[in-house]
Amino acid sequence: MIQKIWKELAVVLVAGVGIWFGFSQFTCSDLTPMKISQEKQQLLGEKIYDELKKTRKPVSSPEVRTAVDNIKIRLMKSLEKKDRDNKKDQSNTYQIYVLDDPMVNAFALPGGIIVIFSGLVDFCDTPEELAGVIAHEMGHIENEHVMQKIYTRFGLALMTRLFTGNDPTIATEMGEMITENYFSRQMEEEADSFALDLLERTSIQPRVLAAFFKKISKLEMDVMNIKALSTHPDSNERYQNVLLYEVKKDFQEKKISLDWQKVRNSSHNSR
């Protein structure tokens, strides 16, 4: 009898290991593109953004809007050229929104949507620093990190309920999760690498990210205000990694022409 029981347990164990090994061969990046179309990703991103707007108003400043648009245009031109050079179809059309919130934060939503809090605009000393943060968030989108994160947390069934309008609270939960901005170390490193390459292609000195991470590192103890950007890799470590990045010998920097102090002063609505 005991021998029979051990035999059955052994069969169950072998079967369990086999199932685990089979699923371990697939990652969320393998599954997500097959499950969620680009159109549905855009719909999902808009739903989450609509929920975020219920607690934070869009910044109405034309100076901020002009600055963000100018940065996006420069980055997009370089990204489109990179995709052509690599014979890759450009599937994401980016929209960048600024919400009135003092937290130093930016995050990517599904469907090419990037949300910036006004506190981040004021925190950046130069438009190039903001461009570096935006390039980083574009890296998360291009590498499908956002959908991997959502798929892992919520699963296809819950997202289907959201698409059909049966459970709008899921959009709120997704928004709260995404604003936390916690990605794995590997994802953050991939997004940083993408940002450095894109900045160089855009004639923006990649070391602007080093200046940004150095400031973040000094403020990481301020949990209430800075926790959203103190992601898994230590900011000081990310600062050191950026310093190791070497641009091509023929690199020529081209500054972003903006009255940045004016942009910062108008980065939030009147309170």
Predicted confidence (pLDDT) per residue in 205-215, tens digit? 999 999 999 88
Order of strands, edge to edge, in the sheet holding 106-109?
95-99, 113-117, 106-109
List residues with catalytic annotation. Answer: 137
Does residue 206 belong to any structural domain of this protein?
Answer: yes
Tell me which residue range forms the domain holding 114.
34-265
Per-residue confidence (pLDDT) for residue 13, from 0 to 100: 41
pLDDT at 22: 41
The answer to whether residue 194 scores a pLDDT higher than 60 is yes
pLDDT at position 148, please? 85
Mean pLDDT across the stretch 105-119?
Answer: 94
Look at residue 6 and tell me if it is in a domain. no
Token pair in block for residue 59: 């910044």
Number of domains within the chain: 1
The answer as to whether 12 is a domain residue is no
Task: Provide the pLDDT confidence category of residue 167 given band limits of 50, 70 and 90.
Answer: low
**242 domain residue, yes or no:** yes
- The pLDDT value given to residue 171: 65
pLDDT of the residue at 72: 97
pLDDT digits (tens, 9 = 90+) for 48-63: 899 899 999 999 999 9
In this prediction, residues 129-145 reach a mean pLDDT of: 95
- pTM for the predicted model, two decimal places: 0.78
* Most confident option among 25-29, 37-41, 76-80: 76-80
pLDDT value of position 89: 76
Ranking 26-30, 66-70, 135-139 by mean pLDDT, the lowest is 26-30
Higher pLDDT, residue 127 or 226: 127
Beta bridge partners of 3: none
Mean pLDDT of 183-208: 93
Mean pLDDT, all residues of the chain: 79
Token pair belonging to 188: 């953050």
Taking 90 as the threshold, does the pLDDT of residue 10 lie above it? Answer: no
> Distance between CA atoms of 116 and 124, rounded to whole angstroms?
12
- If we measure between CA atoms, which residue out of 126, 65, 50 comes closest to residue 269? 65
Residues 6+ apart with CB under 8 A from 38: 91, 92, 111
